[in-house]
Every structure is written in C-alpha cells, then in structure tokens.
Structure 1
Amino acid sequence: MRICVIGGSRYFGRRVVERLVAAGHRVTVVNRGSTAPPPGAEHVVADRDDETALRAALGSRAFDVVLDQVCYTPRQADVARRVLVPRTARYVLTSTVEVYEHEDSPRPLREEAVDPRTVAVDLSLPWDDPAFAAAHYGEGKRQAEAVFAQDPAAAAAFAAVRVAHVLGGDDDFTGRLTHYADRIRTGEPIAVPAVNHPATYVYVEDIADFLAWLAERTDITGPVNAHAPGPLHTRDICAAVARWTGGTVVLREVKSGPVSPFSFARSYGMDNSRAAALGYPFRHTSEWLDLAVSETLGGQR
C-alpha cells in the first residue's frame, strides 16, 4: 500500500512507520524536517500548516491511506481536508481520550459518547496560538475529528483512533514517569486530588501495533477507542515506579492547585469493546506496566 504518515518522527509515531516499512508498504513521511524518518521511508519536508507549501511538496503523489499523527486543531484538519483528502482513499486521524473531557461518567465511555458528526467547529478561534491550542487540546482534537466526519468527501473513509494515555519506551519525552520517580526516591509527597479517579492507558508498542494494523484495514471507519483493559490509578503507577526505583510512595491529597501527571479529578475511562469486536485485543495493563516503567526510567535507579 502507499501510505502517507504526517508526523511519525518520534515516540509511537516512529514505531508505526517502522512497522509499516517492515510490512512492505511504500511509506512517505511528511514533517518539517527536524527529524529524519526511519530507514526505508520517503521523506517529504513541509509545514502542514502552510497549505500552499504542503500542496507543492506533495506534488502529484497519491495514497491509499493517510495516517495523521499530528493534527491538533480544526484549522490543521481543514488544510488536510483540502490538500490530502482528494489524493487518498482513506484518512486515519490519531485522536485522544481527551475528546471525552466533558463526558464525566462513572462508566467507561463508548465511542458514541462524542459523535464528531454533531460537534460544532469554530475555525475563528486562535488555534494558531500555541498557548491557546495547548490549553484546548481536547477541544482541538474533537473539532479536528469533526472537520473530517462532516465533510462528505472524507467521512465515508475516515477513522479516528482515540488513544489513551501512553506509557513505555526509552524515548518517552513527557517526563511524567520521571516526576514520580524523583519523588518516590526521596519520599517527597505526590499531589493527588481528594477524589482521584483511575484512567485508561496503553503500552507504546501496542498502540504502534494497533495503528499499523488499522492502516491496513480499509473497512474500519469512525471513532475507535484504543487502550488496554485494566484501568490504572495513581497508586498503581506509583507502586510500579517504586518497584523499579525503591523508595517510598507518599500520596498527599490537595483540594486545589496542581496535581501529579497521572492524577484525575474526573473519570477518563474508555470502553474498548469496539476494537475487540473488530479483531484487535489489547493486552491487559498487568502484562506490561512494569516493563513500561523499566524502559522509561532505564538506569535511573
């Protein structure tokens, strides 16, 4: 297959490209040029936000699938809708669990809880302001899904993968597990909300496998939740970090103010039964949590 990956230069995006190349697909990676793609992939340097430059850089290329790893706003989606949708048979957007940020439910959420066909899109908001986009990450992803889902030319072959919080890998750039390791080593308190909910997670290698698998499945459209069975609480993650680093876990409840990265005052639970029904069973968190922690923390004992 001819597969275009937008982004794909780091973390699980890079792993997806490696898997697609290994499977024999002709992969084109489009990014701004700061990082070369894995060996075997064609590299097209372009700024996806610049419609004219993106169109010129792609030239006459056409694809069977576009896998968009770095679409964060409806404005970026709108550019992609015009430039990329006409030259591909299928569009797969890497979305996020954060699209459910307003759906606080005690039960795991199924995909229909947020239907992108009914989400309002506002391109007039300051999406080009990095601070605004970061503060409205979930809303940006929700509206990006909507841009494709509401376009008749794209909707029939559009899929959105709503990715849970990702753990693992020695190239995890987020620093979230290190936050816990630093405090557990010294016994420093870890801030959590008074009512602290578990959340859904996925192992970095498993989400890369799933995205590569989905790219080949032309019959799958619409939103798909992607996460491992077995929600994790802050204390579960801390226990795994403590097993690796040693030290003492001290959780401190706070009524207001900042809390640790994997602490949630609202539920972030997803239901992955659709992925399972489509033929992809994710591994349980108990099968990989300790491995994920050891990979990321490496020799930081």
Structure 2
Amino acid sequence: MRIVVIGGSGHIGTFLVPRLVRAGHEVVNITRGTSHAYADAPEWQQVRQVTADRRREDADGTFPSRVAALRPDVVIDLVCFTAESASALIERLRGEVGHLIECGSIWRCGRSAVIPTTELTMTPPFGEYGIQKELIAQLLKEETASGGMATTSLHPGHISGPGWLPIGPLGNLDPTVWQTLATGGTLRMPGLGAESVHHVHADDVAQAFELAVQNRDAAAGEDFNIVSPAALTVRGFASAVAGWFGRTAVLESVSWDEFRQATTARFAVQSFEHLERSPCFSVQKAHDLLGYTPSHGSLETVLESVRWLIDNGELAVDRDLVA
C-alpha cells in the first residue's frame, strides 16, 4: 500500500517509517524539513520526502488537498493537534483513502480514577491539549460509525527513546533530577511519591501503528491506549534511577508550594501537569484487537534514553556508574 505519514521525522516516525518500508509499503513522509529521524536506517533511502508547513497550509485550507494529491491508501497523522484540523482532513479524504490513523495522547484522559485506566473508564480531559485530543478521537469514531472512512486513534503515554530527554522521576524534564539521583543528593519531591507516570518506547508506539495498518477491520472506529506494561510511581522511579548509579535514593516529601519555590516555573508546571493526572493505563484492548505487546518496560525505556544522552554528552553524569 501507499502510506502517507504526516510528521514522520520525529519520535514515532524514527521507528515507524522503517517498519512500514520493511513491511513492503510505499511510504511518503510529509515533513516541515526542520528535523531528522533520531536514528539512521537504510529504509529511509526508499522514502519519498515532501516538505510542507502544515500549520500555514491548515490556515489557508490547502493541506488536506496536498495529502489527497499523494493518492494514499492509508494516512497516518502524527501531528494533528486540533479538532478543526482533523475535521478538514477527514472531509477531504472521505471516499478517497481507505484508513486514517491519528496519533492522540493519554492526556485525553483527566485525573486517574480507576487504575489501570481503560478506554471506557477515562475521566474527562482538562487543558486545551488533552481536550483537543479527545475531540479528535471522538470525531474519528463518529466518522466510522456513520458509515464514512475507516479511522483509528492511538493514544501513547510519555514517549521515550534514544535521542531525547525522557519525562523524569518528578514528572518533568529537569536534567538536574538525574544528576541529583546519580550523585546521592536529596531529591525533593512534591507529595508523597505515590503519584505515577506511564512511559512507552517510541518503537512500541510504532509497533501499534503498524498493527493498526495490518488489522484495519479490527482497528476501524476504535481508540487504543498505547503504553508500557506498567506505570511507575515517583518514589519507585526515583529509587530505580539512583540504583542505576549505585546509589540509594534520598527522597524528601515537600509541599507543592515548597517545590515551586525550589525550581523554575517551567519545570514546576510540567511536574504538576503530569503528577496531577497520575496516568496508569491498560493496554488490554490494544492487545486483544491488534495483538499489541509492548517490547519495552518503562524503566528499560528510560534507561536506554539516559544511556544515549550520557554517551552523547547531553546529560552531565558519570557514564561509568550507569548499570
């Protein structure tokens, strides 16, 4: 099949595009041209690259026709962030494309209530990003249910892998958290440390997209959580990271006010947004309908990312201490 991937040069596309080529598909990657895959693969030589500014072309209404002009059998959209953008794409591709697969987010769910959370036990989202992702998922389901195009939405957790900093034990991207744990310093954490985060390796997300392509009938009209086999609590995550460096984690519970005073506004917001939700999701539906079986656990995924960052001089900790 001819598969058009929108935004295939990022975290997911780094692993997804080579997978699709190896499966025998003709792949076209629509990209802004400002980034490259995080890992080299010979399959990229067989991929047609199309440069486009989606934001600008969405604004002037030309982007959906650009996609349709490529005459795809399947469209995988990794960078859709508004219901308006999704709706325009659906309207233009209806009757011309066999399957539209959108990348959502576990943030389409609000604060965890029943854990692990399934696609049926989610709470309403909050925050514009999560609200838009849920609106997109509902648009897709309604399109298929009404007899229109086959659609699917996949909702990854905290996507991690070699090449970028993962969400850390405090639910943020503060590099000093890793340094504190690596050197045996005291890590001040907001709350009791029972809050959770739920990672997923980028290649496991890519696996899920490939499975959705392969199992169109089972995937049509459905939405799926795509995460690692298990979430991590803040306390358990921090303790494991310290152990990688031969240390025992020294953790101090503090109030959110105290935490905010000791870090930057950016990192405090990141921590609150992640830990307030405390995601912990089930992948049973994806396993049952698509055969999704994540190959990487949360800790394994994060360790791979941390090792890459250290090896490439992007995280200032002693490489020799890493387990």
Global fold match (TM > 0.5):
yes
Normalised to the residue count of structure 1, the TM-score between the two structures is 0.80
Counterpart residue number, 1:168: 161
The answer to whether the Cα contact below 8 Å between 1:27 and 1:42 also exists between their aligned partners in 2 is: yes
Alpha carbons of structure 1 residues 56 and 289: separation in structure 2 relative to 1, 3 Å: closer
Counterpart residue number, 1:150: 142
The answer to whether the Cα contact below 8 Å between 1:8 and 1:29 also exists between their aligned partners in 2 is: yes
Alpha carbons of structure 1 residues 290 and 267: separation in structure 2 relative to 1, 3 Å: closer
How far is 1:36 from its partner?
A: 5.4
Question: In structure 2, what is the Cα distance between the partners aligned to 1:206 and 1:218?
Answer: 18
- Of 44, 64, 69 in structure 1, the residue corresponding to residue 78 of structure 2 is 69
Counterpart residue number, 1:198: 196
Question: In structure 2, what is the Cα distance between the partners aligned to 1:155 and 1:111?
Answer: 22
Is residue 2:283 matched to residue 1:272?
yes
Structure showing the higher helix proportion among its residues:
2
- Of 272, 297, 300 in structure 2, the residue corresponding to residue 285 of structure 1 is 297
Question: In structure 2, what is the Cα distance between the partners aligned to 1:165 and 1:207?
Answer: 10
Counterpart residue number, 1:123: none
Counterpart residue number, 1:111: 119
Alpha carbons of structure 1 residues 293 and 190: separation in structure 2 relative to 1, 3 Å: farther
The answer to whether the Cα contact below 8 Å between 1:8 and 1:17 also exists between their aligned partners in 2 is: yes
Aligned AA (1:101): G
How far is 1:216 from its partner?
A: 2.2
Alpha carbons of structure 1 residues 151 and 213: separation in structure 2 relative to 1, 3 Å: closer
SS at match of 1:101: coil
SS at match of 1:108: coil
Is residue 2:3 matched to residue 1:12?
no
Question: In structure 1, what is the Cα distance between the partners aligned to 2:159 and 2:150?
Answer: 26
Counterpart residue number, 2:100: 91
SS at match of 1:27: strand
Aligned AA (2:196): P
Question: In structure 1, what is the Cα distance between the partners aligned to 2:305 and 2:67?
Answer: 39
Alpha carbons of structure 1 residues 28 and 194: separation in structure 2 relative to 1, 3 Å: same
Normalised to the residue count of structure 2, the TM-score between the two structures is 0.75
- Of 43, 48, 67 in structure 1, the residue corresponding to residue 49 of structure 2 is 43
Number of paired residues? Answer: 284
Question: In structure 2, what is the Cα distance between the partners aligned to 1:15 and 1:160?
Answer: 18
Aligned AA (1:218): R
The 10-residue stretch of structure 1 (259-268 or 32-41) with the greater mean CA deviation from structure 2: 259-268
How far is 1:26 from its partner?
A: 0.6
The answer to whether the Cα contact below 8 Å between 2:239 and 2:248 also exists between their aligned partners in 1 is: no
Question: What aligned pairs does 1:241-256 form with structure 2 within 5 A after superposition?
Answer: 241-246=241-246, 249-256=249-256
Counterpart residue number, 2:34: 34
- Of 133, 152, 173 in structure 2, the residue corresponding to residue 159 of structure 1 is 152
Alpha carbons of structure 1 residues 155 and 234: separation in structure 2 relative to 1, 3 Å: farther
Question: In structure 1, what is the Cα distance between the partners aligned to 2:64 and 2:254?
Answer: 50
How far is 1:288 from its partner?
A: 2.4
Counterpart residue number, 1:236: 236
Give the gaps of 5 or more residues in structure 2. 38-43, 261-267, 312-316, 319-323
Q: Percent identity?
A: 25
Alpha carbons of structure 1 residues 172 and 189: separation in structure 2 relative to 1, 3 Å: closer
Question: In structure 2, what is the Cα distance between the partners aligned to 1:211 and 1:26?
Answer: 15
How far is 1:206 from its partner?
A: 1.8
Is residue 2:207 matched to residue 1:214?
no
The answer to whether the Cα contact below 8 Å between 1:19 and 1:212 also exists between their aligned partners in 2 is: yes
The 10-residue stretch of structure 1 (185-194 or 18-27) with the greater mean CA deviation from structure 2: 185-194
SS at match of 1:151: helix
The 10-residue stretch of structure 1 (176-185 or 158-167) with the greater mean CA deviation from structure 2: 176-185
How far is 1:296 from its partner?
A: 4.1
The answer to whether the Cα contact below 8 Å between 1:177 and 1:293 also exists between their aligned partners in 2 is: no
The answer to whether the Cα contact below 8 Å between 2:189 and 2:252 also exists between their aligned partners in 1 is: yes
Please list the CA deviations of residues 181-227 of structure 1 after superposition, one character each: whole Å capped at 9, or x if unmatched.
13324515232324632233222222222222222221212111111
Please list the CA deviations of residues 115-173 of structure 1 after superposition, one character each: whole Å capped at 9, or x if unmatched.
9xxx99xxxxxxxxxxxxx9521112111222222335776511111111223313447
Give the gaps of 5 or more residues in structure 1. 121-133
Aligned AA (2:130): G
Please list the CA deviations of residues 234-284 of structure 1 after superposition, one character each: whole Å capped at 9, or x if unmatched.
233223332344555333323324377496234311111112212222246
Is residue 2:38 matched to residue 1:2?
no
